[in-house]
Structure 1
Amino acid sequence: MSHEKRFKGIPMSKSMRGLCKEEDYEFLGMSGKMTKEPTEGAEALEDYRRHDKEERIRWRQEREQKEKERLQEIEESKKEKEQQWRTHVENLTSSQEKTLQDRLARLRRFREFQRKVLVEESGMEGVSATVTANQLLTRM
């Protein structure tokens, strides 16, 4: 029953207190004995704390390194997508220019054909026939 008085200050719910027994608190009594023997316990505790701190520092550094790598991968991905977009736009533009050049060439050949047909049908020869054919084609 002395354990109830001794550990009354430990924050715990009522239901939890009901479940706990004296054996559950034995480890607390042992920790009190460890404080009386400072040489062994203190060194072990100090080693544990130092090791724990080193572990936390190492984990934090690993997290930071992973975050840097992730951000670098995202940046590289953005650059790659941007480059792909530029290539796509360049290809699209060049194909449109080629299409327009082909259309212009076909249109010029057709106009030459029309001019030739008009000159032949009019029966006139020379520069005057060409001027007349150009005027007719311009009206169309």
Structure 2
Amino acid sequence: MAHVKRFAGIPMSKCMRDMCKEEDYMFLQGRRELEKTPEDSTFQDSEWQQKQGERLRRRLEREQQEQERQQQLEEQQRKKEEEWKSHVAKLASERESLHNRLHRLREFRDFQKKVLIQDLGLDPETSNEKLTQILMRL
């Protein structure tokens, strides 16, 4: 016990020296327990390998679950984008059909006006209140 000679010059109380001796013996005893037979060390190695394998398996499972979750999120995002695009396209087509309908109604209104002007024998250049009233009733 070389440490006894080395620490002999350090002033300590008896109680403190006893505590240091206890700690030394506990430390040495722990070292002896670590130095076990080769069978024990192979058992510990195999146990360690099993734990490592288990950790690796759990990590791979977590990574796989994370990838699946990411794929689900991406799929949901794609679905939302497609729904939005189809919604916008539907609105655009509805708007286009309304514009076409308005254009056809105006053309028909102009045609009605021309026919009425011809039937009534009025001048097409002048606006007539009677013509406007008749068109309003139609």
Would you say 1:74 and 2:86 are equivalent positions?
no
Distance apart, 1:127 and its partner CA: 2.1
Write out per-residue CA displacement over residues 9-44 of structure 1, whole angstroms, 9 at most, x where no aligned residue. xxxxxxxxxxxxxxxxxxxxxxxxxxxxx5121011
Write out per-residue CA displacement over residues 20-74 of structure 1, whole angstroms, 9 at most, x where no aligned residue. xxxxxxxxxxxxxxxxxx5121011001000000000000000000010000000
**Structure 2 counterpart of 1:127, which letter?**
T
TM-score (norm 2): 0.71
Indicate which of 52, 55, 58 corresponds to 1:57: 55
CA RMSD of aligned residues (A): 1.1
TM-score (norm 1): 0.70
Give the gaps of 5 or more residues in structure 1: 1-37
Residues 121-136 of structure 1: pairs in structure 2 closer than 5 A: 121-125=119-123, 126-129=125-128, 131-136=129-134
1:128 and 1:82, CA in 2 relative to 1: closer, same or farther beyond 3 A? closer
Give the gaps of 5 or more residues in structure 2: 1-35
Runs (4+) of structure 1 exceeding 3 A deviation are none
Hey, what's the Cα distance between the residues in 1 that align with 2:47 and 2:133?
100
Residues 30-109 of structure 1: pairs in structure 2 closer than 5 A: 39-109=37-107
